[in-house]
Every structure is written in structure tokens, then in C-alpha cells.
Structure 1
């Protein structure tokens, strides 16, 4: 550690330091690291000169110390803790882009007469950029008008013929109506006769139906008996099938065992089972035969039931005469009411005729509109810059063909890339100053992406967009712009110069001089600018903090404070 022994040494060192550094200058932060409080160290641009001066001072101090038998306190520059306003500024650069780029498409197919769109040129809303040769469009329009007139004439002729047909049909309809009225009397007379015959027929049918109902009841009863007999036959057949399956071919053996002892008491269990099985077989066979006989009889009885037949020839003939008369009347009536409609065109046909007229009018209207659009040409509908011109590739345009593209200069933005470390500072709504050459504009942060991607250098960056609030004719799309954005602000807070802040593993701290002794004080920092930083806690207004870059400071060393402004003034006087 270098210690100054005499006041003269202090004055010489301060003079040299002031002469080397000159007046304090401000600078803008370019990234987050620059916005952090600097550590206690010499600026890079003074390291080499100061090292040389340091060696000279050491030699001078060594000579001076020989004549002094007593150590002297170091003289350290200090700055006062004061209140002030701080703005943290974020600097970046980006590319100016249009927020509204529009491609214009040709409304017509026609030769291009003149193209005034030139890439890079500025245009105003309403400027005519493309004009057409409308000769072909006018010819097509004339042909369409002639086609329209021909279609309308044909439609009028068809309607006149339809009117004549309707008149003739109306006359025929009157005759048919008279004939229908005569036939109606005959139909009404036959209807009265048919009603009387129907009543008689219904009585006879009722008697026949009663007999049929009785037969159906007998059929149901016999069918139930047949189902019961069938169930018994199935059950007995199953018993016989089981015996045959278990004792097939052993009938004689069973009969011999039973003949040997009809009481079965002396027979073996196997013999008893054999005799019992064939006894069951005989009983099942007898029951099966009995059930089958009864089932066959019930089936024969069921098949023997016959329903009575009924026919009324008189009623049938009368009904046929009525139906024929009614059909004759109905035909005459329909002829009377539909003759005029059938002779003329239907409502759908008339509607289709009107549709054809409308389509012909629309077909004629389209060429007329195209002529109007062709004569109007293509105009810009916004202020901007011509970004591309496709019309230069050909002398003729087709409908829907891309002609040129305009990038609006009324709505523009600057796209920047932000380090992920600075993401938290990017708040939508932050105000910015945009500098393009000698021109300055106001801007507002409108968008910050939610994902970081690698840029061309492989570094992760987050895209952001700053809207230019007051663009003018000097805006150049694609140009590089410098951005100065206020990202934090603190007013009426305690502030100190940024260079007095020191950093260790325990946190941030400053040196102060209390009763002639250097002490460390831990501080909590806030918003920082390029020259000052906010102190949230650890210091009070008016306290003196060491602000001396030319001396190694250690806690506990003895020192005499001198205001930095006074030291700078003293050094300037020596330099002069």
C-alpha cells in the first residue's frame, strides 16, 4: 500500500491526477453491465499514464520521507451525499420497418400505358402509379352491351308468346268447368245410393266378423294345446335319448336281470340302475306316444277350422260405378282449374327468365366497370415508399396480378434485439428517443417477445418493437436508428457518484471518513445513471464518501477529507 507522508506529496499527486483525467464527462450506457455500479478501480484509459506517474511519485515521496520522522495522514477526496433525480437509460440500435406494407393487385387485364412506381421513391395517398391502355376494355364493353340488348329482346318475345297461350287456355278452362258441373250431379246421385248399400254391407260384414272372431279364439286354444303336447314330447324324447346314450344295446341284459328278481332286492347296484333306466325309457316312450297322438288330433282340428266367405256383388258394382263417375268428374274439374296454368310458363320458368335478364345486365355491367377502373388506373391509398415493382417485368397486366408494394411511412417502428438480462427492464409503454442521422423522433415501446432466439452471432436475444410516434418525410425504411430509452426513474432520492461504490462478496459498500479514520459502510442501491446511483439505505444526506481513484483505501487508515470539487480546482490551478 502506498502512503503519503507529507502534504506536499498529496498536492503533487492530486495535481497530476487532475491533469491526467481533466473534468468529469458523462457517457451513455450501451448494455446492462454498463448500467451497474462500477467497482473501485482506475479507468482503463489512465492505467498506463498513472502507472508511470505512480513510480515518479514513489521516488519523490521516498526522498521527502527521509526528512520527516513522523507519519502524516492521507488526504482523500470526498463527495457529499445529496438528493436528486436519476434516470436509467437503455441504449440500443435497430432497423426501421414499416408497420403497414401493402401489395397492390391489378383490377383489370390490359396493356400498361405508364408505370410511375419506382423502387425507393416516396408516394402520397392518391398518387396515380399505373395507367392502362383501355382500347380492348372498351371494345369488350361495346360487345357486352349488344349481347345484353339481344338477350332482353328474346326475353320480351318469350313473354308475349306466353301471354297468348294463357288466353287460349282460359277459354278451354271455361268449357271444362261446364262439363265438370254436369258430372258432379251424376256423382252426387251415385254417392247417395252407395251410402245405403254400404249400411247393408256393414251389417252383413259384422255377422261374418263374429264368426271369424270365434274361429280365431278356437285357433288360439288349439295352438296352446299343441305347444303343451310338443313340450311333453320334447321332454320325453330327452329322457329316451339319455338312456340310449348311457345303456345303448343293453336292453336284453336289463330284461334278464328283472326276470331273475322282479323285486330287484338281490340285484347289484349296477343291475338295479340298468333295470331302472329301461323302466324310465318305457314310461317316457309311452308318454311320448300319448302326447303325439293328442298333438296330431289338435293339429287336425286347427287345420279344419275355416272362416266364412262373404261377397256383396251389388255393392261392389255400385262402388265401381261411383268410382268411375268420380274419376270422370275429377278429370274435368282439374282440366278446368289447370288449363290456363299448364298452357303458360310456370312460375319457376318465369323466374328463370328474369334471372337470365339480370345475369345479362350484370355481364354487361362488369365490362363497363372494368373500363371505368382501367381509366382510373392504380393509385396509392397511403403515404409511403415503393418497396417493389412487379409491373416492370411485363408490359401487360392481368386481373389479380401483383403490380407494386408500398411500405407505409405513416406507421413505422424500430425493431431491436434485447439481451435476456435486460428483459425485466422492457416495459410496454416505455418512452424512447429515436435518432436517425441528424433527426430525432419520439417513440413508445409497443411489443416485447416472450421468447429468446439466437441471433446471427449465436447469442440469445429477445425481439422488441418501438413505435415511432411522430414520423415525417425524413424517415428512411431500412435505415439503422439509435434508441435511447428510459427504463427506470427515481426522483428526490439520495444519490452519490457511481465511482464511489465498491463491491465485494458481501455486497456493495462505500468508504467514509469519521473522526479522521476511514470506515466501510454497507449500502443498498437502486436506480443508476451513467454518473450517479441511488442509495436506498446505508447513508444519510450530507455524509462524505471517499471519491478518490488514485489511492488504495483500507478501512482504519487515517485520512483528511477534501471536497472533490476543491481538489479538482487545486489541480487545475497547478496545471495552469
Structure 2
């Protein structure tokens, strides 16, 4: 938090009394001055700063990963060179076994298992063959039944489709006939009109051709007499040119009319051909063929179904379930015994190594001693995954959240941590302290150590400071300036020469200061300790020597 300016505030008093123009004697003035000095109070200017709310408690350092190691074999221990409390690295050999007796047992077991397997397999094979035949017949019958059902449905659908198609085709053909007749009639009407127009165009064309020939003859005659009649030649030329233009136009019109007639004739032909093709469709024939094929397939499926049912419902000749299970169990026991011995020998030859960096927290064996399969040998606790377990009282656990940062101190070392887990089950009894002993139900919290090292000791007490909340660059008051009354939280402020009571809203609270959310503004003057003064008393502010020094800095 930023430095606070400390001011001296004095309550004013009349130090001079004038009666009839005469000053009261000096001892009266001195008394007034002494009374004013006796009422002086300290004040501070409201400034911004940072507030960190922490929860301090004690806990126990524990490993976050613990593994109890059990013996994989029945054997003598040939090596177990470690003690409780030893620090071991991952991969360090810790235990080795003498496997001589186990290897002899394995050889005998293999011979016994082989003999049992041959007898068992012969009986089981014969039983399985009979059972498989019957099971296959049952499965095949079920599959065939499904196929028969599907094929029956297909036959019904084809028969219905064939009946429906015949009715639909009858209606469609009637509609098509009416449509084709209507379209043909319309096209034939257009054709007659086009043919008349073609005949008219042909006559115009023939007339234009005759006129052109006449104009050509006249032009040729005029050309021969051109020397005597130049004007006649020019007139003949103009008539010839016009006759050529008329002939070309008549020819183009005739050809267009002829093309129109041909197109109408083609349309009529295509329409009649399409109608004839539609009448010759063989869709109903295809459906009839599909129906006959489906009926044949259905008959064949029904025959196969009856054959498979006869096999499935007949006498299987297989072993009973109880007899087969007994033989299987005996054989499995023999196989397991042999396999277990082989696997145990392989495991025993590997010995036991440390799976991770850690500390030996328990040891149950010694070199030369006999161990049995599943017997507890030792316990290894990790020093890389380390936590501190703390109990939080009801006064603080609501402020603690997973993910909050913490500082952990023990064995002269300081580590950084993170709140990893908060238990949802309360524990009763005395434990640790959150600035006070916990005597009621408490909640267990796990603080993960983020930067463990080789100086970690498991099981020791640790001091934990959890950063429960933080506010930066906010209005701050020292805790002694914040008061709690029946109407809520308030502080004393100096305003317009008067000491006033001001309601405030607080936020993050530390040991020595409090965040002020609402109620006062930066730069206002707050009185931490009003002494015997009351709200409404008039005061004056006087700078203290301490404030002057701080301002100089």
C-alpha cells in the first residue's frame, strides 16, 4: 500500500474573549489553547494502492503419488539394499529374487498341463463340432426365415405393382391419346394454312420469274439500240434491277414457306411416332418377369428353411453345458498354472525397480527372507508430485478457490504452490490454525507444490499462505480506520471543518488495510481514531512534522 499522509486536526475554541473592549487575562487564553490541543486527532488522506487478502494456515507435506509394491512371485529375496527414508531415482534396482525352486516347479507343471490339454481338447473338439453344426443350423434357419419374409413381401409388392400398373397405364394411355389427337389436329390445321401460304408464294415467285425474264429481254433489246436511245436503255436497266429484287424476295419467301411446311410435317410425324412408342412399352412385361423370378426364389428359400430347421431341432450329440464347463474349467486351471509360472518367472527375473523419483516410506522385507506372491514389500512416495494438505475452518474456506496461488515454507525452504483440490466433505476436530486453532468442522484443501526439488521432506509441517483475493490500484484504508456498527461499515471523515460519519462498502481485506469500493473518494481525509469526539464536532486540520517529511520525500 502507498504511504499515508498523517495530519493533525484540532477542534477550534475561542481563545480570546473581549468584554467591553478589554482582553481577558492570559491564563484564560492558555486554558483555551490547552483545551484545543487536548482535542487534536490524527487524520490521513485517502489514496490508491494494492490489497492482497491472504489466509495463513499450517499443513502437512504429502506425496501426490504413492505406490505400494507387492511381490510378483513366491521366492527368496536375494537383494533389498534400501531403508525407509532413502531417496531413490527412477529405474534404480531395489529388489531381486532367487528363482531356482520356481523354475523346477514350472518344468513339472508344463508336463502335467500338456497331458491334460490333449485329453481335454479331444473331448471338447468332438462336442464343439456337434454343437457348432446345430448352432450353425439355428443361425442359418433364422437368416433364411428373414429372407423368406423379405421375399414374400417382395412378391406381394410386385403383384400389387403389376395390378396397379395396368390400371395406371389404361388411364395414362387414354390421356395420351386425347393429348396427341389434340396436338395433331392443331398441327394439321397449321399445316393446311402453311400449304396455302406456300402455294400463294409459289405463284408470286413464278410471276416474279416471268417478269424478270421479260425485263431481261427488254434490257437486252434496249442495249442493242443504246446508241439511238440512251434514255430507253436506262429505263430498261431500272426495270431489270427491280425485277431481280422482286424475284429474290419472292424466292426467299417461297423457300421460307416451304421450310415451315416441312417443319410442321416433321412435328406431326414425331408426335405420332412417340405416341406409338409409348403404346408399345414393355414395363408390364418386365414386372411380370420379376414376379415370376421372385416366386421361384421364394419357393427355393422355403425348402432350405425346412432343411435347416430339421437339423437345428434334432439331437445334437454335444456335451451338456455342465459337462463341458467342468472340462473347460479343469483345462483352464491347468493352463493358468503353467502360464502363471512362466509369467511369474519372467517377472521375477526382472526384479523390481523404482518407477519414479521418490522416498521409501515403508519396508517389509529383508535380504535372504522368503516372500509370497502378493505380499507387500515396500512403499514408494513421489517427491516430484508433492502436495500440502491443510484444514480450513468455516471462517476461511469459503474464500479459498481451486487455482489460487500460495506460498509454502518448511525446512528452511520456500516454494510456490497452487490450490489443487478442495474436499466436499468436512472433517471434525482440532487441527492446525488459520490464525486460530480449528475446533469445529473443517474442510481439507490440497495445495500442489509447483516447484519441488531435492530438498523436499515428506510428512513435515509446513506454513502455507494462500492468496485468497487481490485488488490493484484501488482506494485503500488501514484496518484501524474501518469501523463496524449496527448500521454497517463506516469511517470518520473530515469534511468542511466538521468530523462526520460516512457509510462505506469494503472489498478485499488484508491484515493491515482494506479495499474501499464505495463511500469515499481519493483525496478525502479520514480520521482513524476519533477518540472521545462525536459526529458534528468542528475541527481544523494542522500539518504534522511527519506529514511535512513525507511530502518532502
TM-score (norm 2): 0.51
Is residue 2:350 matched to residue 1:376? yes
Shift of 1:547: 4.2
Partner secondary structure for residue 107 of structure 2: helix
Cα distance between partner residues in 1 of 2:42 and 2:521: 18
Cα distance between partner residues in 2 of 1:90 and 1:502: 22
The residue aligned with 1:566 is 547
Partner secondary structure for residue 541 of structure 1: coil
The residue aligned with 1:308 is none
What does 1:104-119 align with in structure 2 at a 5 Å threshold? 104-119=69-84
Q: 1:94 to 1:500 in 2, by over 3 A?
A: same
What does 1:133-532 align with in structure 2 at a 5 Å threshold? 133-147=98-112, 363-392=337-366, 395-436=369-410, 437-451=412-426, 453-455=428-430, 459-470=439-450, 471-532=452-513
Partner secondary structure for residue 460 of structure 1: coil
Q: 1:562 to 1:500 in 2, by over 3 A?
A: farther
The residue aligned with 2:33 is 71
Q: 1:148 to 1:535 in 2, by over 3 A?
A: closer
Partner secondary structure for residue 71 of structure 1: helix
Cα distance between partner residues in 2 of 1:117 and 1:71: 83
Shift of 1:385: 1.6
Q: 1:559 to 1:393 in 2, by over 3 A?
A: farther
Gaps of 5+ in 2: 5-25, 127-315, 432-436
Deviation track 1:408-454 (CA, whole Å, cap 9, x = no partner) reads 33333222122212232122332222222323122224113343522
Cα distance between partner residues in 1 of 2:421 and 2:319: 65
Cα distance between partner residues in 1 of 2:476 and 2:96: 66
The residue aligned with 2:94 is 129
Cα distance between partner residues in 1 of 2:27 and 2:489: 35
The residue aligned with 1:326 is none
Q: Is 2:87–2:360's contact at 8 Å kept on the other side of the alignment?
A: yes
Deviation track 1:136-161 (CA, whole Å, cap 9, x = no partner) reads 122223333454566689999x99xx
- Output the aligned Cα RMSD: 4.2
Cα distance between partner residues in 2 of 1:394 and 1:564: 82
Cα distance between partner residues in 2 of 1:130 and 1:82: 66
Cα distance between partner residues in 2 of 1:565 and 1:111: 81
Q: 1:450 to 1:568 in 2, by over 3 A?
A: farther
Q: 1:394 to 1:455 in 2, by over 3 A?
A: farther
Partner secondary structure for residue 126 of structure 1: coil
Q: 1:440 to 1:65 in 2, by over 3 A?
A: farther
Deviation track 1:502-530 (CA, whole Å, cap 9, x = no partner) reads 33333333222234333332222221122
Q: Is 2:397–2:443's contact at 8 Å kept on the other side of the alignment?
A: no
Q: 1:354 to 1:417 in 2, by over 3 A?
A: closer
Deviation track 1:210-256 (CA, whole Å, cap 9, x = no partner) reads xxxxxxxxxxxxxxxxxxxxxxxxxxxxxxxxxxxxxxxxxxxxxxx
Cα distance between partner residues in 2 of 1:140 and 1:490: 72
Cα distance between partner residues in 2 of 1:354 and 1:423: 59
Q: Is 2:60–2:388's contact at 8 Å kept on the other side of the alignment?
A: yes
Q: 1:132 to 1:367 in 2, by over 3 A?
A: same
Q: Is 1:76–1:559's contact at 8 Å kept on the other side of the alignment?
A: no
TM-score (norm 1): 0.49
Q: 1:495 to 1:564 in 2, by over 3 A?
A: farther
Gaps of 5+ in 1: 1-22, 26-63, 163-340
Cα distance between partner residues in 2 of 1:517 and 1:528: 28
Q: Is 1:78–1:563's contact at 8 Å kept on the other side of the alignment?
A: no
Cα distance between partner residues in 1 of 2:532 and 2:419: 45
Is residue 2:518 matched to residue 1:537? yes
Q: 1:568 to 1:95 in 2, by over 3 A?
A: farther
Q: Could you tell me which of 546, 552, 569 is aligned with 2:527?
A: 546
Paired residues, what number? 329
Deviation track 1:184-217 (CA, whole Å, cap 9, x = no partner) reads xxxxxxxxxxxxxxxxxxxxxxxxxxxxxxxxxx
Cα distance between partner residues in 2 of 1:354 and 1:430: 59
Q: Is 2:426–2:444's contact at 8 Å kept on the other side of the alignment?
A: no
